[in-house]
Amino acid sequence: MPETLRVFAGDCSTKLDAPRGQRLQRGRVLVVAKPDRTLLVHDADGYQPLAWLTRADSLTVEADDDGFAVTARDGDRTLRVRSHGPGERATFPATAGGTPVGECPACGEPMVRTGGDVVCLGCDDRYGLPSGATVGDGVCADCGLPTMRVTRGGTFELCVDYACDSLSDRVREALDERYDCPDCGEALRVVEHRGRTFLGCDAHPDCETSFSIPAGETVGACVCGLPLFETSTGIRCLDGTCEHHSGANAGP
């Protein structure tokens, strides 16, 4: 479920203790305590907080009828905000923000792309995306989740939920046993290990040759016999160290 954003306002003293010294300030401010233990103090002047401590080691809140105190500690720095009087306080559900990509089939709430994930703003279901994936307006016919477009040897449209649609299976259809190991001549197989898909020698463990699969479509074969990939930085060999084709804008 969404995490909690805590907000306080009132006449407060703000004290920051740090190795370089102590700074004490007072004013009518807005105090924001975020779920990631970030503490922000905003006054009426400018866009930058009056004081802040980002992703602290600990964040504690003390509150009663007489007022509140919020303390963040991060290593040798401590930020403490103490109210003079009861002040105002409220809590709100908080989620990640991102680009809308559809609705959650489980709860009907919006889903957004934030960083490398697709996240539901209602039930907080989260789906990790492979590098280079794009999410459009497509919907999975089986589960109703958004679909993503991924390029790994070929270009595939598949569900963001790996349990529903396997990227490894699609890559296996495109690349498995299509090329030989440059070191021993055995077939290169598509292997999935700890969430990573790569091409590895079928003679493993006797031969430990393996290659990460770049985000791009195959556009033929390199002089060395391995596939060439057209990527966002140019054409490159599967072997990133290959002297024939490696680096940006390499020609065929």
Count Cβ atoms within 10 A of the Cβ of residue 131 and give its class: 0-12 exposed, 13-18 middle, 19 or more buried: exposed
State the pLDDT at residue 249. 42
Q: Does 213 lie in the same domain as 228? A: yes
- The amino acid sitting at 72 is A
Instruction: Give the distance, in angstroms, between the CA of residue 71 and the centroid of all CA atoms in the same chain.
Output: 28
| Average pLDDT value over all residues in the chain | 91
Within this chain, do residues 10 and 87 fall inside the same structural domain, yes or no?
A: yes
> Tell me, what's the pLDDT at 245?
65
User: Domain range for residue 38?
Assistant: 3-94
Residue 244 lies in a domain: no
Q: What is the pLDDT of residue 194?
A: 73
> pLDDT averaged over consecutive 10-residue blocks of the chain (252 residues)?
88 96 96 96 94 97 96 97 97 90 94 93 90 91 95 93 90 93 95 84 94 92 92 90 62 42
| Domain end position, chosen among 165, 190, 220 | 165
50-84 as b/e: b if 16+ CB within 10 A: bbbbeebeebeeeeeeebbbbbbbbeeebbbbbbe
Pair 125, 145 in one domain: yes
Q: Domain ends where: 165, 182, 209?
A: 165
Segment 148-168, tens digit of pLDDT = 999 999 999 999 998 898 888
For residue 58, being part of any structural domain is answered with yes
